[in-house]
Structure 1
Amino acid sequence: MPDVGMPRSLALVGAGKMGGAMLEGWLDTGLPGPAVSVYDPQVSPAMTALAERAGVILNPPDESRVAPDVLVLAIKPQMLEGAAPAIRPLVGAGTLLVSVLAGKTVANLRTALPEAGAVVRAMPNLPASIGRGATGAYANEAVDDAQRAVADALLRASGLVEWVCDEGLIDAVTGVSGSGPAYVFALVEALAEAGVAAGLPADLAMRLARATVVGAGALLGESDLPAETLRKNVTSPGGTTAAGLAVLQRDENGLPALMRETVAAAKRRAQELSG
């Protein structure tokens, strides 16, 4: 990872699935382990082993805690208020706060952590764990160009990063890409179940459904063509795919309407989490 835009010190609060995935991305792309301190009362054996290998500092004692260049919050949103007193010593005048807490606004964060000035809200997703994540990010007015470069470098270590100018759009990002991998996994489950209903053995139906979605995703990732064009390329007029899509794309209860409802529900829940 280039030196430009990287912090000299970073504190990660919360080392669960998302926090751990982000940390692995930072380490894999060159952030020195000793520059990172991890705070989590229930560190997993895997995280302990990773920290030992990389030299990451786990749960340093209170007397040695100092405000880092970057503080990344990766705890559950509902834990923010309760954890705030322990987090406050990690927020200094020059600290960049990067939050991946769904629904927690900049105002929420600055209420819980009054010392926070520069704040970036980010919404990564689970494929960050394999470097194929999709992250939406928003920076408040206190974030300078250098701090934004730091945040971009950290988030980009896990995949695609898209910046938005309106904080309200982060909740929509949450509904689309933040929660999106679960929708795809649900599609695989549903496709396999449909295969069983059509007469396939369950294990065969799941293998076919899984490989189909993985392959289609890989094709989408490697092609410059829009998704609409790729769909049309595999849909012969009057053929089997066209017959299936006629059901999937019905106006009232087809996939487009269902997906709009799904994303709206996730966005609404993210807004509710702000309190």
Structure 2
Amino acid sequence: MPEGRIIKALSGYYYVLDGETVWQCRARGVFKKKKISPLVGDLVEYDQERNQEGFIQQIFERNTELVRPPIANVDQAVLVFSLAEPQISLLLLDKFLVHTESAGVKSIICLSKSDLVSTEKFQPIVSLYEKLGYDVLVTHQLKTDPSAQIRQLLPGHISVFAGQSGVGKSTLLNSIIPGANLLTGNISERLGRGKHTTRHVELIPYQGGFVADTPGFSQLDFFDIEPEHLSHYFVELRQYLPDCKYRGCLHVSEPQCAIVSALQRGEIAESRYNHYLQFLKEMKEKKRRY
């Protein structure tokens, strides 16, 4: 039975790329009975019928899964944040990092518009996240081509772009993959959608991998993370977790908390810890409401 990858899901149809051919498929009813939904990024087995149509028969095991946007098997996220216009929100950046860490997805931080702020303002940000082990790219509108730096990191990967609204993620994507609009138009032709709009998740083939163009990845919540697990997704906190006295420690006011002690010794950035506390508060409030 042929195999392919779902590159788009729209109106109950799944578009499966097999080689250079896209097949429009439905999912067998057995998936609905098992409460399994095929996702963009899934590797699947499908049968081929007339007019490049078919039915998905099997979904192979996923390596990773993101809930928002709904996409499977992504292995890296490019988090695009501008240093000015709009001003960078480190709170939002840390929220993205929590979600990518919880999904097991590598994050690359891209800081744009460095020409609009002084080096003294953005260098501490670069140093903080590089110290945590993240790759940080700094781009300059006049002196550097941001797409040139990112292009080198994409071949062979399934990458998703995310970040602040209004920083030009789609524009960056189009500069990385010339003709991306044309590709989207070709695949969507049978649906009568001729222009490129980011209303759904779609994978665009790129040098042995894929780049995901996604909508609505600027609004994140913590419905899928338990409060006692939040600390696992702050990379600098993990090493201290075994040394806390109490299992299930939330690292706020519990006695003999290793993370609070590390904070007092200056081993943990206060800004990141404050974001941890804010996220913890958000999670508790949402659980009370629901």
The normalised TM-score by structure 1 is 0.29
Higher relative CO (CA 8 A, sep ≥ 6), structure 1 or 2? 1
TM-score normalised by L of structure 2 = 0.28
Write 1 or 2 for the structure with the bigger share of helix: 1
